[in-house]
Structure 1
Amino acid sequence: MDEGALIEHIDALRRASVRPVVVGISGYCGSGKSTLARSVVAALPGAVRMRGDDFLDPVRSHRRSTDWDGVERTRLVDEVLAPLRTGIQSTFRRFDWARGELSAPEPVPATDLLVVDLIGLFHPESLPALDLTVWCDVDLETAAERGMARDRRLVRSHDEPWRQVWVPNERDFEHAYAPKEHSAVMYSTR
């Protein structure tokens, strides 16, 4: 599905729903999740993006794990997705990367369309809280090369974590949870 068709599909879901719609965008590190999420939110007035990086523990996300242990899916569901979908006002805590800890609670933005972009999102802990699942479809090697190039442009020295942690974590997560199979929409970022 191309971007225009995806935006039309999301808008139709939003108009047909009696409660807020949660769109989950996932894919490999470097696959274009954040870029797509920003485009969707820019195209649909009133939509809100919830950054996946706000739900990553910077220490645990730099360690090997078979289920992306550093992705705090339970916190995302409990603090943001479940309350939003049921119409309950709630607060959440972003991870403050500069301080290395959770920030002070802030209100979950009021919206009828929330777009979440996050690695490891299509997991049994969070799938029930997503109304539409979108996979940024590109092979792992290409995604990793793009991610490493992005990090170099941002003057981040992450080549070793990419090779030693993040790419192996992606392979393990794919083997254990088959995230592509839980995607209602395949969005090509090739």
Structure 2
Amino acid sequence: MDLDELTGLIESTARAASHPIVVGVSGFAGAGKSTLARALVERLDGAVRLRGDDFLDPTRSHRRSPDWDGVERDRVVAEVLGPFRSGRPGEFRRYDWAARGLGAPEPVPSGRILVLDLIGLFHPDTVPTLDLTVWCDVDLATAQRRGMARDAALGRAHSSLWNEVWVPNDRDFAARYTPRERADVLFTGGATGT
């Protein structure tokens, strides 16, 4: 599916829903999740984005785990996805990477569509709170190559994390939870450049 088709599907899903919807965008690290999420929010009226990196525990996301333990799924569901889908106010705290801790409380965003891009998202704890699941359909080797190139361009020396932690975590998560098979949509690229 390309970006135009995906945008149309999200619009029709939002129109048919009786509540604000959550679109979960996942894929391997480096697959283009953030790029896709930004493109969707630009195209969809009433859409807001939630960055998955705001819900990573930096210590746990930098060590081996078969289920991407560093993804704070319970927190994102309780603090954001539940309140957003029910249309009730709430507060959440983003991880502040500069301060190395949770930031100040801020209101849960409002809108008719929330796009959340996050590794390890298609997990039994989160799938029930996602109205539409989109997998960035890039193989692991390509995602790793793209992610490492992006990090190098930003001056981030993460080669050992990619090779020893993130790629093995992605591989283990995929084997255990089959996220690609859980997706409603396999996004193959198009206008986002992914």
Normalising by structure 2, we get a TM-score of 0.96
Q: Which runs of 5+ in 2 are unaligned?
A: none
Equivalenced residue count is 190
Which residue matches 1:188? Answer: 188
Amino acid at match of 2:147: G
Secondary structure of the structure 2 residue equivalent to 1:109:
coil
Secondary structure of the structure 2 residue equivalent to 1:143:
helix
**Partners of 1:28 and 1:6 in 2: CA distance:** 19
| Identity score, percent | 60
Trace 1:149-168 onto structure 2 (pairs within 5 A): 149-168=149-168
**Partners of 1:96 and 1:57 in 2: CA distance:** 10
Q: Aligned pair 1:18/2:18, yes or no? A: yes
Trace 1:1-190 onto structure 2 (pairs within 5 A): 1-189=1-189
**Any idea what the Cα deviations from partners look like across 1:20-54, whole Å, max 9, x if unmatched?**
01000000000000000000000012200000000
**Partners of 1:16 and 1:174 in 2: CA distance:** 31
Q: Which runs of 5+ in 1 are unaligned?
A: none
Amino acid at match of 1:155: G
Measured after TM superposition, the shift of residue 86 of structure 1 is 1.3
Q: Give 4+ residue runs of structure 1 displaced > 2 Å after superposition.
A: none
Contact 2:87 2:110 (C-alpha < 8 Å) held by counterparts: no
Contact 2:74 2:125 (C-alpha < 8 Å) held by counterparts: yes
Normalising by structure 1, we get a TM-score of 0.98
Measured after TM superposition, the shift of residue 159 of structure 1 is 0.7
Secondary structure of the structure 2 residue equivalent to 1:124:
coil
**Any idea what the Cα deviations from partners look like across 1:88-128, whole Å, max 9, x if unmatched?**
11001000011111111100111110000000000011000
TM-align CA RMSD: 0.8
Amino acid at match of 1:23: V
Secondary structure of the structure 1 residue equivalent to 2:78:
helix
**Partners of 1:181 and 1:66 in 2: CA distance:** 18
Contact 2:20 2:113 (C-alpha < 8 Å) held by counterparts: yes
Secondary structure of the structure 1 residue equivalent to 2:31:
coil
